[in-house]
Amino acid sequence: MTSRTAATLHVTNGDTVLYLFKKAGITGTHLAWRDALYEGPVLGDTLEQTSAYRASFASSRGYGNPIKIIHDFERRDAQLRRAADFQEVVLWFEHDLYDQLQILQVLTALEALDLEPGRVSIVQSDNYLGTMTADELSPLLARRRTVTAATFRSARRAWERFRSGSPLDLFVASKEDAIGLPFLRAALQRLCEEYPWTRDGLSRSQRQALEAIAQGPARDQDLFRRAQAREEAAFMSDGTFAKIVDDLRVSPAPLIESNDDALAVTALGRRVLAGDADWLDGAGIDRWIGGVHLNAPGAARWDDEKVQFVGAGP
């Protein structure tokens, strides 16, 4: 099987890696899978149906021109649907939550195409592909592993649990080892922490954003770096971080305020950080995580001390 050929489809997490492919001489068709699946609804029975929900969510969050967003999803999905036209499909993804959810979606879509065994392989790195040099990236191709039927099944099962309407299904997936997906368990455990916590109503990402601002005035990029430094495996873009900060600022119960063109923590924000107040008492909640819509006072919460969900049903 030829690996460095135009007959290879390379699928990865974003445009930076596409640029490195070219520098490294990794030729073929290059496809970026641009979608932060850890935020917003992940619904629909087919890839195209899910993309319609994702495009609507991305537009509502102001992530780009709505028409272009829809077009980009349609073009991306159509390219993957043509995977059978290629001698090999190589997936390039990292260990973090952003990439691991994308792996599940891509593998589930590819499994439905019923390609011959051995046609799909995967590169999984515990380092960030976009920060590598071309010389560091290139040798990874030879280390790719063939995706087996067992890995396809593991990915589909985890994808279905992520898209379930019950947080308990996500919790089950976060406790299982997935065949051929060594980083998935830790990534799904991190996703559980994106639910509001029992002690203050904040998700882990919201708390880290608030704590970064509480450290003192800083430029937006410095605030982003402060928050991401707390991650075991950073997965968030600066654009998503900015939306989180804005949510905390424009909430009916704001935890952040603008003070002389700098961001500062409000009195309520300080109480929430100290564990003396619950943000959701005043702010309410209307968020999606996978297939779960958190939109009621009794919505499921994450108990970080007991490492389990509370109020998630039987």
Give the model confidence (pLDDT) of 186-234 as tens digits: 999 999 999 999 999 999 999 999 999 999 989 999 999 999 999 999 9
Residue span(s) of the chain under CATH 1.10.10 come to 197-284
Give the model confidence (pLDDT) of 249-262 as tens digits: 999 999 999 988 89
Residue span(s) of the chain under CATH 3.40.50 come to 8-189
Q: How far apart are CA 302 and CA 314, in angstroms?
A: 15
DSSP classification of residue 141: G
Residue 282 pLDDT exceeds 70 = yes
**Domain over 197-284 is classified CATH 1.10.3470:** no
Beta strands in the chain (DSSP E): 8-12, 29-32, 40-41, 88-94, 120-125, 145-146, 256-259, 262-265, 287-290, 292-294, 301-303, 308-310
CATH number for the region 8-189 comes to 3.40.50
Q: How far apart are CA 7 and CA 25, in angstroms?
A: 14
pLDDT at 298: 87
Residues 170-193 have a mean pLDDT of: 97
Q: How far apart are CA 96 and CA 215, in angstroms?
A: 26
Alpha-helical runs (H) found in 112-183: 134-137, 149-162, 167-174
